[in-house]
Amino acid sequence: MQTDYLISGAGASALSFLDVLLAETDANVVIVDRRDAPGGHWNDAYPFVRLHQSASFYGVNSRPLAPPRIPGQSFDAGSFELATKTEILHYFHDLMQKTYLASGRVTYLRNSEHLGGGLVRHLVTGKQTQVEVRKKIVNAGVWGDLGSIPATHKPKFDIDEGADFVPINDLPRRAPGHDHFTVIGAGKTGMDAVIWLLQQGVAPVQISWVRPNDYWLFKRERILNHPDLFTTTMKAFLGELESLANATTVDEFCTMMEDVGIWHRIDPDVKPTKFHAAVCSIAEQEKLAQIRNVIRMGHVTAIEPRRLLLEQGGVDMPDNTLYIDCTARAGIIMGQDQRPIFDGDTINISMIRPFQPIISAALIALLEARVPDAASRAACTHLVDFHDTPAQYIAQQLPSMMNQAAWSKVPAVKDWLGQSRLHAGNHLMAGFDPADPEKSALIGRMGPTAKQALQNIPALLAAR
């Protein structure tokens, strides 16, 4: 078997890369994926999960994920444009069957793994196939392989056989018949579990929540990239740049982000120390704040039928408690181990825009197809890592700003970004009226403030 490109992975990033590569070249592609269907981790996600960002700029560039919605149109204003698992999987399946495979340029080897060098092994039969790759191998699943998802995650604590313990995926099936629920995990998955329980009518007093850390959260209402909300969202983006430009310490930056209404927290009496860029609406925050039995005694070390053991002690649990594991970690900090994106005859898909792997993959494909100059590619692809803390988040703004500056200087990239549906700013800018003095003034302040932020970030981080 021969091909121009072999893409290892068939998740959202892989398909985003594929979509642009097919549009910009006449290449043939072999896709190798361990799962039985496209969509990556969405295949294993818990049933009530929703997309955490707006559907308007998620998916692949050539096709919208869902029809445009307006605030309040969906069943919950806080879930504006947040697609369901079913919608997303149907979208990727339809793309694979009716667009990519139908093109005659794509071969899809599912239930298979790439062993390296173009050697592919089928996971069911064990049969090995050597694929001759004429151009490049694309590693699209590195981040996912290093992280973990709830369905397949192995907890790092002991679980007594008598304890009723489930991953969040099994919560809808196993919840009936229990009198108490203990959610383990403070991140977005834990938040989703708590909200699901409350939506089912479970009383807050019936829920315990293990939160070893508290997190800063993006306030969803302030960062919606919808043309009707241009002024609100643009003020939020400008507020973040002003915080980066003027804060003298990381703590001051966090306070400023909360004061301007971009960040908020579940408990106003506890200052968060972590930030994973989770997005939470005001309505969701108010629901989460109803849980008063919050356990802050470190991480869980063991679970017994009626007792929870943690790093800082033990807590008795009511009879008939269902323990819900939400401790899987999808966001992995790659650190210094990251390989360059353009690495000889290999392309390693990583983020080049903060917590936006989809447009990152699409831009990498565009650079591969349209920008052969190695120096330009390097300038456009400074690696942007994930983050655990506000300080790490601030640090990642530097490579992100460097990339954006480089993109504006490469005509092919600048033109593509100006029309791409994956670029969130394009949806927002559809609401920009140059004749509106307030909107024009907001736009005019963005550039100078970004330069101030870029200059201030090193000093801000050094002060911590």
Band of residue 77 on the pLDDT scale cut at 50, 70, 90? very low
How does pLDDT run across 408-425, given as a tens digit for each residue? 999 999 999 999 999 999
User: In angstroms, what CA-CA distances link 166 with 48, 159, 172, 303, 422?
Assistant: 15, 11, 10, 12, 36
* pLDDT > 50? residue 323: yes
> Which pLDDT does position 441 carry in this prediction?
94
Of 396 and 66, the structure prediction assigns the larger pLDDT to: 396
- Same fold: 2-147+331-419 with 158-223+268-325: yes
Tell how strand 180-184 and strand 112-116 pair up.
unpaired
Average pLDDT estimate for 360-366: 98
Helices within 47-125 (DSSP H only) = 85-95
> Which pLDDT does position 82 carry in this prediction?
82
Mention the CATH class of domain 2-147+331-419.
alpha beta
How does pLDDT run across 105-161, given as a tens digit for each residue? 999 999 999 999 999 999 999 999 999 999 999 999 776 666 567 777 788 899 999
Band of residue 303 on the pLDDT scale cut at 50, 70, 90? very high
Band of residue 228 on the pLDDT scale cut at 50, 70, 90? confident
As beta bridge partners, residue 271 has none
> Which pLDDT does position 69 carry in this prediction?
62
CATH architecture of residue range(s) 158-223+268-325: 3-Layer(bba) Sandwich (3.50)
Average pLDDT estimate for 168-186: 96
Give me 100's structure tokens: 């990519």
Band of residue 244 on the pLDDT scale cut at 50, 70, 90? very high
> Which pLDDT does position 75 carry in this prediction?
36
- Range in 77-86, 123-132, 198-207, 291-300 with the lowest mean pLDDT: 77-86
> Which pLDDT does position 152 carry in this prediction?
76
Give me 285's structure tokens: 């925050």
Give me 357's structure tokens: 């792997």
> Which pLDDT does position 68 carry in this prediction?
67
Domain ranges of the chain: 2-147+331-419, 158-223+268-325, 226-261+433-464
> Which pLDDT does position 74 carry in this prediction?
45
Measure the CA–CA gap between 326 and 51, rounded to whole angstroms. Answer: 17
> Which pLDDT does position 229 carry in this prediction?
86
- Range in 89-93, 126-130, 149-153, 357-361 with the lowest mean pLDDT: 149-153
DSSP string, 119-159: EEEETTT--EEE-EEEEEEEE--HHHHHS--TTT---SSEE
- Nearest 5 degrees, angle CA 25-CA 354-CA 248? 150
Cβ atoms of 206 and 252 closer than 8 Å:
no
Torsion on CA atoms 121, 123, 127, 131, rounded to nearest 10: -30
Residue located via tokens 């989703």 = 192
Within 10 angstroms of residue 109's Cβ, the number of other Cβ atoms is 19
User: In angstroms, what CA-CA distances link 309 with 160, 171, 403?
Assistant: 11, 22, 46
> Which pLDDT does position 265 carry in this prediction?
97
Measure the CA–CA gap between 37 and 421, rounded to whole angstroms. Answer: 25
Nearest to 25 by CA among 58, 3, 57: 3
Measure the CA–CA gap between 58 and 393, rounded to whole angstroms. Answer: 22
Q: Is pTM, for the whole model, over 0.85? A: yes
* CA gyration radius, the chain: 23
Tell how strand 112-116 and strand 119-122 pair up.
antiparallel
Measure the CA–CA gap between 268 and 356, rounded to whole angstroms. Answer: 29
Measure the CA–CA gap between 285 and 219, rounded to whole angstroms. Answer: 9
- Nearest 5 degrees, angle CA 58-CA 62-CA 65? 35
Measure the CA–CA gap between 60 and 234, rounded to whole angstroms. Answer: 25
Average pLDDT, the chain: 92
Average pLDDT estimate for 79-93: 86
> Which pLDDT does position 54 carry in this prediction?
84
* Report for 13-17, 54-58, 146-150, 434-438: range of highest mean pLDDT: 13-17
